[in-house]
Amino acid sequence: MDSVVPKLRLSRSTNNLEKLVNFYCRGLGFEVLDRYEDQLGWDGVICGHKGWPYQFEFSQRRKDEEVPRAPTPNHFIVISIPDRDEWKATLGRLYDEGFQQVTHPQLYADGNSAAFEDPDGYRVIVRNGTWKK
């Protein structure tokens, strides 16, 4: 059954591969699902949770190549965590790892969301709740 369910992998290049792994894995609680080295000149890490329908892939070119930071604070992702205790534990891990909370988009100023900036400047909204649809 699982093989017929579509999966989503968001992939982006970076100059901060290990810092991103630290943010997404130690801070947000993701797992390293796969790692590759010198694959056609790229190193990369795939982060997520086994069995979940989405993954993040971060890759870094071995040759000097400057990858720009997120263009604006409005480039963000939203992670919805339904269980309030799990949400609080995630926020606690982010604080414990030294990640600073940043201003979130007004759309998520509902008291159930917190925003953090990853090492590439992308905002990550950690929201307590479920999707409406």
What are 16-64's pLDDT values in tens digits? 999 999 999 999 999 999 999 999 999 999 999 998 889 999 999 998 7
pLDDT at 133 over 90: no
Domain covering 76-128 in this structure, CATH number: 3.10.180.10
Instruction: Tell me the per-residue pLDDT of 72-102, one tens digit each, with 9 for 90 and over.
Output: 988 999 999 999 999 999 999 999 999 989 9
Q: CATH 3.10.180.10: which residues of the chain? A: 2-61, 76-128
Tell me the longest C-alpha to C-alpha distance in the chain.
45
Question: Is the whole model's pTM more than 0.85, yes or no?
Answer: yes
Q: 40 CB contacts (<8 Å, ≥6 apart)?
A: none
- What band does 105 get if pLDDT is binned at 50, 70 and 90? confident
In three-state secondary structure terms, 9 is strand
Backbone angles phi, psi at 60, to 5 degrees: -135, 125
Q: What is the pLDDT of residue 31?
A: 97
8 Å CB contact between 127 and 107? no
Domain covering 2-61 in this structure, CATH number: 3.10.180.10
Q: What is the pLDDT of residue 48?
A: 95
- What band does 132 get if pLDDT is binned at 50, 70 and 90? confident
Q: Please name every residue paired with 79 in a beta bridge, in sequence order, or none if there are none.
A: 126
Q: What is the pLDDT of residue 33?
A: 97
pLDDT at 1 over 60: no
